[in-house]
Amino acid sequence: MTIYLDGKLVPESEARVSVFDHGLLYGDGVFEGIRSYNGRVFLLREHIARLYRSAQAIGLVIPMSQEEMCRAVITTCAANDCRNGYIRLVVTRGVGNLGLNPYQCPKAGVFIIAATIQLYPPEFYEKGLKIITVGTVRNHPEAVNPNIKSLNYLNNIMAKIEAVNSGVQEAVMLNHLGYVAEATGDNIFVVRGRALLTPPSWCGCLIGITRNAVMKIAADNGFEVRESVLTRYDLYTADEVFLTGTAAELVPVVEIDKRAIGSGVPGPATRQLMRLFHACTQQPENGDKIV
């Protein structure tokens, strides 16, 4: 595998970061997870724009322009023939001393991995996920705001541990007020009749690129799409529930906290949106060509 590291393509064996990098020492940095479909990087510009917003929010200067970053992603995909894959783009605070102060780190580090990912085994896309709500609360908006896709995912990892320890694949996290925020690496949607509901940003979710794409697709196909404050009651009594994310794509949820959702199998709206989302990933206008 060939890795993009600080402006150069290097073999995987040479792609190393320092133990003094604050990305490692403090989780100080930001990242994106991006997919390629059919030789194009899906919604690349949206991902890069969000990366730069995350960096801006933590006062991190990325030492290249958004256009240069887009080129770097495409070049890394081309070098790895990553035509249907998963791209992990990481910007760290860079090398500094053993203190928190980020201003001691002269230059941000940038690396890009173009590989593959499978978040859930294929049968879950057919049968749906069983999930639980967990005690670990989503970040308060005035702590590390959930819109910052930071290298500090420990809060979400704690929630994931609760889910896995309970024998399920995924956790729903609530915010500090008790409202539904999102899953550990995916946004959450509720179907109620022809309405499609998902929590607003202030409830503690990342504004997912897949979330936005699905909201647009649904609106274009006759759903009434709304951001809505959701409680666990709304999940338990939904007709359908599904999760969205770059890695997960669109995955049905059939059980939450031992309550069957709707009929207990992936519902028609979810299956329709899965088909429509797949078609959307294949449309040339939604991606930058890998050359």
Q: Catalytic residue among 8, 107, 130, 149, which? A: 149
Cα three-residue angle 195-201-203, rounded to 5 degrees: 90
Residue 61 has a CB neighbour count (10 Å cut-off) of 11
Exposed / middle / buried, residue 123 (Cβ in 10 Å: 0-12, 13-18, 19+): exposed
Residue 262 makes contact with ligand PXG by CB under 6 A: no
The CB-of-200 to ligand PXG minimum distance in angstroms stands at 14
Instruction: Give residues 70-129 in contact with ligand PXG (rule: CB under 6 A).
Output: none
Residue 49 makes contact with ligand PXG by CB under 6 A: no
Question: By CB under 6 A, which span of 92-100, 201-209, 228-236, 275-283 interacts with ligand PXG?
Answer: 201-209
Residue 35 is given by DSSP the state E
DSSP SS3 for 215: helix
The CB-of-104 to ligand PXG minimum distance in angstroms stands at 28
Residue (95 or 162) nearer to ligand PXG, CB: 162
Residue 33 makes contact with ligand PXG by CB under 6 A: yes
Which listed residue (21, 28, 170, 186) binds ligand PXG by CB under 6 A? 186
**Whole-angstrom Cα distance, residue 153 to residue 171?**
14
CB neighbour list of residue 42: distance below 8 Å, 6 or more residues apart = 34, 35, 36, 281, 286, 287
**Whole-angstrom Cα distance, residue 228 to residue 53?**
24
Q: Is 258 a catalytic site residue?
A: no
CB neighbour list of residue 19: distance below 8 Å, 6 or more residues apart = 25
Residue nearest to ligand PXG (CB): 33
Could you write out the DSSP letters of every residue in 65-133? -HHHHHHHHHHHHHHTT-SS-EEEEEEE--B--SSS-GGG--S-EEEEEEE---SS-THHHHH-EEEEE
The CB-of-103 to ligand PXG minimum distance in angstroms stands at 27
Instruction: Give residues 152-171 in contact with ligand PXG (rule: CB under 6 A).
Output: 156
Which listed residue (72, 114, 191, 206) binds ligand PXG by CB under 6 A? 206
> Cα dihedral sign for 252, 117, 169, 32?
negative
The CB-of-201 to ligand PXG minimum distance in angstroms stands at 11
Question: By CB under 6 A, which span of 96-104, 178-186, 223-231, 270-278 interacts with ligand PXG?
Answer: 178-186
The CB-of-227 to ligand PXG minimum distance in angstroms stands at 15
The catalytic residue positions are: 149
Question: What residue ranges bind ligand PXG (CB under 6 A)?
Answer: 33, 156, 182, 185-187, 206, 208-211, 244-247
